[in-house]
Structure 1
């Protein structure tokens, strides 16, 4: 995924998030639970309980940007068996996640035509 920024770090927030939270609520999670500075330009990834939506939050030097992606019929391969609050990802792992693969191993989504 090519973005408008080149984040110095990418963090996946392990727990599921109430998606009524927007920039302020997600920034509070970053600072209070992850104990990270939200203003560093790092990219933070959040998932809803249904695993069909993700939000990406980052500071771009002028304000916060919030990206949202919803899968049509599948679920994101969200790593649940990690002990830390956050998992550091590489840009390649972020691409895998956004493409429907597991960040801890390749398991592609399988779409089929209804015809």
Structure 2
């Protein structure tokens, strides 16, 4: 199972990605198409044309992780391309929704609440 940190930004690469690409091909997309640093503390998420395959590129200290998930049934609720943006930043919570098969704008989810204790 793949777990994400609440502080790690998640970048979805909009549109279909050729799932034959490995680390070098995906880092090239991040560096040249998105103009971002592949070796940064971010998760870069790619989805195939049929929306049943997903890859996550992650830098870790001295090398890349490449996480891969293929659905045997169903598809990921992958967002379409809106306006001219090539990528979309989402929260780790939204990534977990996506991995679980839910849309990014899950309306029935409880909002995040930060409890603050005040001493009198």
TM-score bracket, normalised by the shorter chain, equals 0.7 to 0.9
Equivalent position of 1:42 in the other structure: 42
TM-score between the two structures when normalised by the length of structure 2:
0.81
For 1:35-114, what aligned pairs fall within 5 Å after superposition? 35-83=35-83, 84-105=85-106
What's the secondary structure of 1:31's corresponding residue? Answer: helix
Residues 7, 42 of structure 1: 8 Å contact kept: no
Say which is worse superposed, 54-63 or 98-107, in terms of deviation. Answer: 98-107
Say which is worse superposed, 5-14 or 49-58, in terms of deviation. Answer: 5-14
Residues 15, 81 of structure 2: 8 Å contact kept: no
Say if 1:74 and 1:89 are closer, same or farther in 2 by CA, change over 3 A.
same
TM-score between the two structures when normalised by the length of structure 1:
0.84
Equivalent position of 2:15 in the other structure: 15
The runs of 5 or more residues in structure 1 that have no matched partner are 108-115
List 4+ stretches of structure 1 deviating above 6 A.
none
Between the two proteins, the alignment pairs up a number of residues equal to 106
State the superposition RMSD in angstroms.
1.9
**1:104 Cα deviation from its structure 2 partner:** 2.7
Say if 1:6 and 1:65 are closer, same or farther in 2 by CA, change over 3 A.
farther
Find the structure with the greater CA-based Rg. Answer: 2
